[in-house]
Amino acid sequence: MKARIAVLPGDGIGPEVIAEGVRCLRALAERHGHELILTELPFGGAAIDLAGTPLPEDTLAACLQADAVLLGAIGGPKWSAPEATVRPEQGLLALRRALGVYANLRPVKVHPALLGASTLKPQVLEGVDLLFVRELTGGIYFGEKRREPDSATDVCTYTVAEIERIVRAAARLAQKRRRKLVSIDKSNVLETSRLWRAVATRIMRTEFPQIALEHMLVDSAAMHLIRRPSDFDVLVTENMFGDILTDEASMLAGSLGLLPSASLGEGTRGLYEPIHGSAPDIAGRGIANPCGTLLSVALLLRHSLGLEREAAALERAVSAAIEQGARTPDIAAKGARAISTREVGEAVLAKL
């Protein structure tokens, strides 16, 4: 097949981990006879330095013409001063909106060889295989914002249509898994959450009666993610709650560097990125974990290009490399030798 992929390395460790993702993409394309046209574009802080905006017009145009977008990470102290009017994160929010990617998928699966990498007891982590579905283009992040000398306001708004489509997306994914869906809100306090709960209940009862639905308050969900994580299958929630809970859930796997994400809309085009940030403290040192990026590439192959065989092969290669000790410092066993970002990429390529 032939496909166009927009590659946005971004800032900090973004270019380092993206380099390994691109190598694996090219290797799979060559092996399976695909023509992948990869175009690297400035985005985030790097784009601010280059063009004065985190999302240049050329970058946005290329992303809108691509079959998929692969992103590294954005941001850093250089662009985060409180008085800054232009920030890398503005580009990310604008890109998500322009692409229409409202459903953020964040799978969390604990690798048996990494049970010791988490701070939780191994017996708590056994069998953890869950999927967060986070609403990505609504809520408080996209609401009206005001700042006065003595106050500030961030408005959280959700429409029935926004809730319906994200709940449907989560339910369709639950149908292919264990048929359990937990909807997370704060309906004891927030009107947006009361609407969320009512809509989720209606959609599940009328359209997906075969799926077990459980409602959970966000604070309770945060507790149970640590207490009994293996009980969860698919979890759906709004934008800010999902942002926070998925970072918490990443610690089940042992490191932010391990987990991928896919942001999808109504079509096949998606935005794919590891869930970690730009990690400026380790940028340029060659020790960033590329596994989250490599697994994001697998999601790209599966959801945007329809290449399930290639996606599964990459996931198996990452798992096998970890099993045989290809680990950066964030997940290396105590006393074991940690290897570089590049060496992890080489180990995965060898398995492919």
Which residues, 6 or more positions from 317, have their beta carbon under 8 angstroms from its beta carbon?
24, 348, 349, 351, 352
Assign 263 to helix, strand or coil: strand
- Cα torsion angle, 266, 271, 274, 278, sign: negative
Rounded Cα distance between 125 and 93, Å, is 33
* H/E stretch holding 165: helix 160-175
Assign 234 to helix, strand or coil: strand
Which residues, 6 or more positions from 93, have their beta carbon under 8 angstroms from its beta carbon?
141, 142
Strands of the sheet containing 2-10, edge to edge, are 35-40, 2-10, 68-73, 270-274, 260-264, 103-109, 129-135, 234-237, 180-185, 212-217
Which residues, 6 or more positions from 287, have their beta carbon under 8 angstroms from its beta carbon?
328, 329, 338, 340, 341
Number of H helices, E strands in the chain: 12, 12
Q: Are 29 and 64 in contact (CB under 8 A)?
A: no
* Catalytic residue IDs: 141, 186, 219, 243, 247
